[in-house]
A and B are shown apart, each in its own frame.
Chain A
Amino acid sequence: MVNIMRMDVYRLVHGKSFWIFLVIIVATAALATGMMSAVTSPEFLQSMQSASDAAARSGFRFSITSGPDFDTSDYADVNAAIAMLSGDITQMAYIGKLFLNGGALTIMFAIFLSIFLASEFETGFSKNVFTVQPNRLAFLGARVVEIVVLAAVFVAVALAATLASAALFGLDLAPSPLPDFLLWGVLVTLVTAGFGMITALFVWLTRKMAVGIVVGVLLSAGLVTSILQAILLLFPDLMHLADFTLGSCMASLGQGLNVAGGLSPVHVACTALVFLVASAALSALALQKKDI
C-alpha cells in the first residue's frame, strides 16, 4: 500500500495535470478577488455614482430595475449593497462564493481525479500495477488515502490562494476564529473527498475517463441534489432527506459554519463519511470483480 502511494506521488510530481489544476485554482482565486476588489473600491463606487448623477442632470435616466417606476437611485442602492457585501462578508462565506456554491472546486477535483485514475487503465499501465500489487484491497486503501489527502491539498490551496489574493488586493474580509476556520476547512475537505470517491467509483466501474468526468461534474454542479429536491417536493414529509446529500452539505458550508439555517458540523461530517465509506465499499466490489 505504501509502495503504491510512493508510485502515485512520483506520478503526481512528475506529471502535469496536478500542477495545472493547482494553477487554475490559484488563478481563479486571484482573478475573482481582483475583480471583487475593483468593483467594491471606493473609487469605483464613486465613479459609478458620478456617472449616474451626470447622466440624470443631462436628461438621461438610467436604471437597473424596469417598469414605470425606474429610478436612478438604483445605482446608489446597488453600490451600497456592494459596499456592505465587501465589508461584512466572512472569509468562509467569500471562499464559499468563489469555490463552493457553484461547485467550482469539486468540479475541478472530479475532473483531475478522473484523469489521474482513469489514465492508469486507459494506457494499460494498470497491468504493471496489478502484477506488482495483486491485492485489490491494498490498492483501494492506498487510493482512498490519496483521495482524502488530495482533497485536502486542493482545499488548502483554494483557501490559501483566496486569502492571499484578498490580502494582496486589499479586500477586507471579516476574519473567522482560527478553530472554526480549521474545522470548516476539514469539513470542506471531507465533502470534497466524498465527491472524489464517488467519481473514483465510476472510473473503476467503467475504466473510462469520460464517464468519471461526466459523473463528477453532474454531482459537483449540484444537478443530482436539485433533482432529488424536486422529487422530494412531492413527498413533503421526506423533504429533510435532501439535507443528507453532499451537495446540500457543500451548499451549507458555502455560507460558513454554524450559520442560521445551515447544517451542523456533525451532520456534514457524518454525511460525508457515509458517502466516503459507501463509495469505497462499492469500489472494493468493482475492483475485486473486474479483470484487469
Chain B
Amino acid sequence: MNVIETHGLVKTFGGRAAVDQFDMRVNQGDVYGFVGRNGAGKTTVMRMLAGLAAADGGEVRVFGTDPKEAGTSRRIGALIEAPGLYGSMTAYDNMMLKALALGLVDPKDKVRNLLAFTGLGAAGSKKTRHFSMGMKQRLGLALALLGDPDLLLLDEPLNGLDPEGAREVRQLIMHLNDQRGITVVVSSHVLEQLGKMATRYGVIREGRMVREMSAADVDQECSDFLRLDAANPTLALAVLQERFPALRFQSMPDASIRMFGSVDAGEVGSALNEAGIAIQGLYAHKRDLEEFFVEMMGAEYRG
C-alpha cells in the first residue's frame, strides 16, 4: 500500500517552479531516504506532504486522501526545517501545547514519556532557548511523535548533531520503524547515516524526481565496477555486451563505459584487442554512497 503518492506535483514561487511534475511513492513501512542538493525542492515537497503548503498543480495523496483532511493530518508527524519552539517556554510546556492542540487524553503522561523516549527526560523543565541544536532536534522529533503518528516526515533531523547524536537519532528512527511500524520519510545530507537506515530512496533534482530505488538497487549500483575509456565507445559497448552477457553496462556522459558484476580486466582488454578497439584507459573503481548520490544529483547524471 502506498502511504504517499504524488502525481505531477507543482509548486511555484514567483514564477519559478520549485517543484515540477514531481512523482513520488512511499510504501507502508518504508524508511524513505529523500536525497537532493540544497534548494532542490525537498523541503517544499515535505511541506506539501504535511499539508502546510498548497500545491499549484498535480495531486498529493497521503493514506489515500488529501493531507489536509483532519483524519489524515493527525496521522502525520512532521519535523520540517528547524523545530518550531517557544524559546521562553520549557521543553515540557512546548510539548504540552501540541498535546493540548491534539486533544490527547492524559497529555501530561504522554509528554513525559516522549521526553524520556527522546533522551530529554532530565531537560523537560529547561527553557528551550538554552537548548543545544541537538537537543532542539530531539525535541522536534518528540513533538512530531505526539499523537502516535503513522507517518513521520523528517527534514534534516540530523542537522547540528554530533556523530554520537546522529547515531542515536538514527537508531531512534529505526526503532520507530521496526517496533511501531511507522513509515518514515527522511531527508539528510548525512548520507552515511541515511545509508544505514533507508530501505528506499528518492532523488530530487531541480524539483523533479530523478529516480526512486530500493536500498538493494543502491547497493548494487555502488558495487565495484570497471571503467573503460575506449577509442570507439559505441562499438566497444556492443562488443562487450555480446562477449559478457552476464555483466551490466552503463554509458556515461563523458563517453566512458562502466561495467558492473564479476569481471576481469584482462579478459575485457583481450576482447577489445581482438575487435581492434584501442583502449585509452581501464581502471577498477568502487563508489561509495556519497559519490553515487552526488553523481545522481548533479547535472551530469543521465539515469
Contacts and interface: CB of A to CB of B under 8 A. Distances in A.
B51 interface: yes
Interface stretch (B70-78, B112-120, B229-237, B266-274): B70-78
Q: Which of B69, B102, B147 has the most CB of A within 10 A?
A: B102
Contact of A3 (B51, B67, B94, B101): B101
A177 B64 CA distance: 62
A127 interface: yes
Given A7-B97, A291-B53, A291-B54, A15 B81 contact: no
Given A7-B97, A7-B101, A123-B86, A135 B70 contact: yes
A133 B101 CA distance: 8
B126 to A, nearest CB: 14
A132 B98 contact: yes
B58 interface: no
A11 B73 CA distance: 23
A120 to B, nearest CB: 8
Given A6-B100, A128-B143, A119 B70 contact: no
Contacts of A133: 70, 73, 101
B37 interface: no
Contacts of B78: 127, 131
Nearest to B143: A128
Interface in A71-130: 119, 123-130
A179 interface: no
Given A3-B100, A10-B100, A132-B74, A126 B84 contact: yes
B9 interface: no
Contact of A132 (B69, B80, B82, B102): B102
Contact of A16 (B77, B85, B88, B94): B88
A14 B100 contact: no
Contacts of A132: 73-74, 98, 101-102, 147
Interface residues of B, number: 36
A133 B51 CA distance: 10
Contacts of A125: 84-86, 94, 97
B242 to A, nearest CB: 55
Contacts of A2: 103
Contacts of A15: 86, 88-89
A23 interface: no
Interface in B92-145: 93-94, 96-98, 100-103, 143
B74 A10 contact: no
Main secondary structure of the interface of A (DSSP, over half): helix
A134 B100 contact: no
A4 B101 contact: yes
B50 interface: yes
Give the size range of A's interface with the partner.
20 to 34
B90 to A, nearest CB: 8
Contacts, number: 88
Contact of A123 (B67, B84, B143): B84
Contacts of A182: none
A291 B52 contact: yes
Contacts of B69: 134
Contact of A131 (B54, B73, B93, B96): B73
Contacts of A131: 50-52, 73, 76-78
A185 to B, nearest CB: 30
A183 interface: no
A7 B51 contact: no
Contacts of B261: none
A212 B76 CA distance: 32
Contact of A127 (B52, B68, B74, B94): B52
B195 interface: no
B25 interface: no
A6 B96 CA distance: 10
B154 to A, nearest CB: 13
B97 A3 contact: no
B39 interface: no
A125 B70 CA distance: 19
A11 B93 CA distance: 8
Contacts of A124: 81-85
Contacts of B51: 130-131, 134
Given A3-B103, A132-B98, 14 more contacts: A3-B102, A6-B101, A6-B103, A11-B97, A15-B89, A128-B101, A128-B143, A131-B73, A132-B73, A133-B70, A133-B101, A291-B47, A291-B54, A292-B52
Interface of B: 47, 50-54, 67-70, 73-74, 76-78, 80-89, 93-94, 96-98, 100-103, 143, 147
14 contacts: A2-B103, A7-B100, A10-B96, A123-B85, A125-B94, A127-B50, A127-B84, A130-B51, A131-B76, A131-B77, A132-B98, A132-B101, A134-B69, A292-B52
Q: Which 6 A-B pairs rank lowest in CB-CB distance, beginning with the nearest?
A: A124-B84, A291-B53, A125-B84, A134-B68, A292-B52, A7-B101
